[in-house]
Amino acid sequence: MKKLILKPGREKSLKRRHPWVFSGAVARIEGELDVGDTIEVRSADGEFLAVAAYSPHSQIRARVWDWKERAVDSAFFNERIKRSVEQRRTVLDADASDAMRLIHGESDGLPGIIADRYGDTVVVQLASAGAERWRDEISESLQQVTGAVSVWERSDAEVRQLEGLPPRTGLLRGSVPAAPLVLSEHGLLFQIEFEGGHKTGFYLDQRDNRLKVRALAAGRDALDCFCYSGGFALNMLAGGAKSVTAVDSSADALAQAQHNAEMNGLPQAEWMEADVFQALRRFRDQRRDFDLIVLDPPKFAPTVSYVEKAARAYKDINLLAFKLLRRGGVLVTFSCSGGVSADLFQKIVAGSALDAGVQAQIIERLGPGADHPVALNFPEGEYLKGLICRVSL
């Protein structure tokens, strides 16, 4: 097997089983390599450390497949995918939803691979050079292990550009899914745009948090920012909110949200097509206020180099939200930026409350559901962070 040799002293993170090798740690490559090839990673003195996938165009030069010497082949992927799927069998009550994340990248020992199941369809994202190299084996194993009728690819996330990979979408195995796909979640139905929607079509990681927001909504005037296809807004309506205003910049997403409300027989929200930052300022100037606000923005910091800019954006929307909350009101605020730590996010929210001139308490910390595990050796997997904050009376 071809080898990647580290610089002296750069093996420490790998010995702690962190699965990434950055370009700055690489001393040399031994052998001719193609994108996604499997390599041995060795220390400067020749000690074996891991087998990994090679990515010559990325700052993450190699992603670890395994910590022992072994072949990476179709049997490897079948074994890993079967293990990942089996581990999901007990983490979600069947009555809660018929959709679930099956593979969660590095946290399941499958770097760069995401797979979500919607009924008989599995939607997969391949975001790394190694995952791209083994596309056929991965899709075949997914269909074999899950029994899915369709395996659909949504490898169009911006992170592929960092790997030097073009976007790819389309059918990988089986037949084209019967459109539209509809999932059931805690008694609500949502139509899924698996071909062109966000992520794989829906934000499965917010499943538990949507239910928490439903429980907070009764009798409140509520605002859902970055509402997408209505996940939080519909739960506010189902929870008995007095009124719901839902804001998103996408007309298509708002039309989908409105359709989802109709499909569930719910009253309609005030669906508002607008830039959320501008809408919040307009609400402030109009002296509108709310009892419950949800902020679930897109990823402001795709890498750590964006953290400073992202922090300003998070500060802006949280400051405005605190100004719009009535006394006793509740802010449910999220960051899905892996480059923004939980500590930093709390500091940003705390600074926002201070600048807004309000006293607030954290009454609960939120994260993704149990089908989105975080490996202890890979803290970067803890990307979704949320706080439920109550403004003092």
Buried b (16+ CB within 10 A) or exposed e, 261-300: beeeebeebebbeeebeebbeebeeeeebbbbbbbbbebb
**Cα(283)–Cα(100) distance, rounded to whole angstroms?**
36
137 sits in which H/E element: helix 135-146
Q: For residue 150, how many C-alpha atoms fall within 13 Å in the half-sphere facing its CB?
A: 18
Give the SS3 label for residue 374.
coil
336 part of the active site: yes
Output the CA torsion sign for 128, 193, 103, 366: positive
Contact 142, 173 (CB under 8 A): yes
Q: What is the DSSP letter of 97?
A: B
Burial of 343 (0-12, 13-18, 19+ CB in 10 A): exposed
Q: What is the separation of C-alpha 91 from the centre of its chain, rounded to a whole number of angstroms?
A: 18
The encoded tokens of residue 37 equal: 């090839």
**Cα(187)–Cα(173) distance, rounded to whole angstroms?**
30
**Cα(200)–Cα(195) distance, rounded to whole angstroms?**
8
Catalytic residue among 225, 227, 336, 389: 336
How many angstroms separate the Cα of 124 from the Cα of each of 91, 155, 222?
20, 7, 34
Is the preceding omega at residue 180 within 30 degrees of 0, hence cis?
Answer: yes
Q: What is the DSSP letter of 149?
A: S
237 sits in which H/E element: helix 231-238
Q: For residue 169, how many C-alpha atoms fall within 13 Å in the half-sphere facing its CB?
A: 11
Residue whose pair of structure tokens reads 């607030």 in the numeric block: 360
Active site residues: 336
